[in-house]
């Protein structure tokens, strides 16, 4: 569908089209459409813009990714449809491998996501391996790659479900997420929650990493130490109530 740029909801409809295209290409699950709808509702309540509390989280996330020993970026069907180019670029600048990890199990979809990422300039894309799994999780998301999430200290999991976030934490991983819903279990449990649309947050995260890569580890660790995720979530809720 072609939406005229003059349409007052142009940007929101453009992003919605990316998800629909993802489903048509077999990258995104049908359930991904409802997950996207929930995100849209929260984005609307947040005024569809990046707030100061999200900038604070982006700065802490950039610091944590740059100081991590073995960071990994987890990719699902929604993230791949919305920000495949950005995921490839982020993987190169940190550097960190991308690892496909989907909730609605499908080997075919995993391979389609992998090919889509590679077509969009990603280089290191790992797939889960059924011989390896994390503990405390029963869904398809327990399977991991031995060179990726299994040995990661920091896992970046945009648009995640709460179960897996909790399991990753119990497995000793630090979790960074992007989630428009400040009330979700993932938002509440993650070490760092970027309450913003993934489409707006990814370019800002890369810009911040580029700026922060000149900083020494002491300065980056100081940024992480001063970061308060609970306060960020409270500020996001206050913003929703005010609008
Ligand atoms: O590809 P799969 O099988 O792994 O499935 C992926 C989805 C996203 C369908 C699956 O992980 C899922 O069901 O997720 P949830 O539990 O619905 O959580 C998705 C979270 O992402 C919700 O809290 C949404 O508010 C949020 N969200 C949706 N779209 C965006 C978003 N956050 C940031 N930016 C968005 N564009």
pLDDT digits (tens, 9 = 90+) for 35-63: 999 999 999 999 999 999 999 999 999 99
- Best mutation site among 26, 30, 35 for ligand 1 pocket (most ligand atoms within 8 Å of CB): 35
What is residue 161's predicted lDDT score, i.e. its pLDDT? 80
The answer to the question of residue 174 being in a domain is yes
The answer to the question of residue 156 being in a domain is yes
If you search the block for the tokens 């500020």, which residue do you land on?
Answer: 235
Neighbours of 236 (CB within 10 A): 26
Atom 14 of ligand 1, nearest CA residue: 161
User: pLDDT band for position 162 (50/70/90)?
Assistant: confident
Percent of the chain with pLDDT over 90: 90
Instruction: Assess whether pLDDT exceeds 80 at residue 131.
Output: yes
Atom 35 of ligand 1, nearest CA residue: 197
Per-residue model confidence as pLDDT tens digits over 179-228 = 999 999 999 999 999 999 999 999 999 999 999 999 999 999 999 999 99
Count of domains observed in the chain: 1
Atom 32 of ligand 1, nearest CA residue: 179
CB 179 within 8 A of CB 195: yes
- For residue 186, give the nearest of 158, 205, 153 by alpha carbon: 158
The answer to the question of residue 177 being in a domain is yes
What is residue 2's predicted lDDT score, i.e. its pLDDT? 73
Is the pTM value of this prediction over 0.85? yes
Instruction: Assess whether pLDDT exceeds 80 at residue 115.
Output: yes
User: pLDDT band for position 1 (50/70/90)?
Assistant: low
What is residue 105's predicted lDDT score, i.e. its pLDDT? 87
Tokens found for residue 9: 């909801």
Boundaries of domain holding 226: 52-242
Mean per-residue pLDDT for 108-129? 97
Torsion of CA 152, 78, 106, 73, to 10 degrees: -10
Cα separation, 28 vs 116, in Å, equals 11
- For residue 158, give the nearest of 115, 134, 193, 107 by alpha carbon: 193
Does residue 177 have its Cβ closer than 6 Å to ligand 1? no
Report residue 197 CA to chain centroid gap. 10
- Best mutation site among 15, 140, 159, 190 for ligand 1 pocket (most ligand atoms within 8 Å of CB): 159
Tokens found for residue 77: 């069907």
The answer to the question of residue 43 being in a domain is no
Does residue 208 have its Cβ closer than 6 Å to ligand 1? no
Tokens found for residue 125: 């894309």
The answer to the question of residue 197 being in a domain is yes
Atom 25 of ligand 1, nearest CA residue: 39
The answer to the question of residue 79 being in a domain is yes
Does residue 145 have its Cβ closer than 6 Å to ligand 1? no
Query: Domain containing 152 — which CATH number?
Result: 3.40.50.12640
The answer to the question of residue 13 being in a domain is no
Instruction: Assess whether pLDDT exceeds 90 at residue 160.
Output: no
Query: Which atom of ligand 1 has the smallest separation from the CA of 77?
Result: 1
Q: What spatial distance separates the first Cα and last Cα of the chain, rounded to whole Å?
A: 31
The answer to the question of residue 24 being in a domain is no
């Amino acid at each position: 569908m072609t939406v005229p740029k003059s349409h007052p909801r142009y940007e929101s409809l453009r992003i919605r089209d990316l998800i629909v295209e993802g489903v048509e290409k077999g990258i995104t699950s049908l359930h991904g459409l409802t997950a996207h709808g929930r995100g849209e509702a929260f984005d609307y309540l947040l005024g569809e813009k990046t707030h100061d509390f999200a900038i604070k989280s982006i700065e802490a996330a950039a610091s944590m990714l740059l100081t991590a020993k073995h960071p990994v970026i987890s990719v699902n069907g929604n993230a791949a449809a919305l920000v495949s180019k950005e995921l490839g670029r982020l993987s190169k600048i940190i550097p960190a491998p991308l690892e496909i990890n989907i909730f609605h199990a499908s080997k075919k979809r995993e391979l389609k996501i992998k090919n889509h990422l590679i077509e969009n300039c990603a280089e290191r894309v790992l797939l889960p391996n059924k011989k390896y799994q994390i503990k405390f999780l029963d869904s398809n998301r327990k399977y991991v790659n031995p060179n990726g999430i299994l040995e990661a200290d920091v896992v970046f999991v945009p648009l995640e479900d709460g179960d897996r976030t909790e399991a990753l934490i119990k497995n000793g991983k630090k979790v960074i997420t992007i989630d428009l819903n400040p009330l979700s279990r993932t938002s509440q449990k993650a070490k760092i929650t970027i309450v913003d649309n993934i489409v707006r947050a990814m370019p800002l995260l890369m810009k911040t990493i580029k700026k922060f890569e000149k900083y020494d580890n002491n300065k980056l660790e100081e940024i992480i130490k001063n970061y308060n995720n609970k306060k960020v979530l409270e500020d996001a809720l206050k913003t929703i109530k005010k609008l």
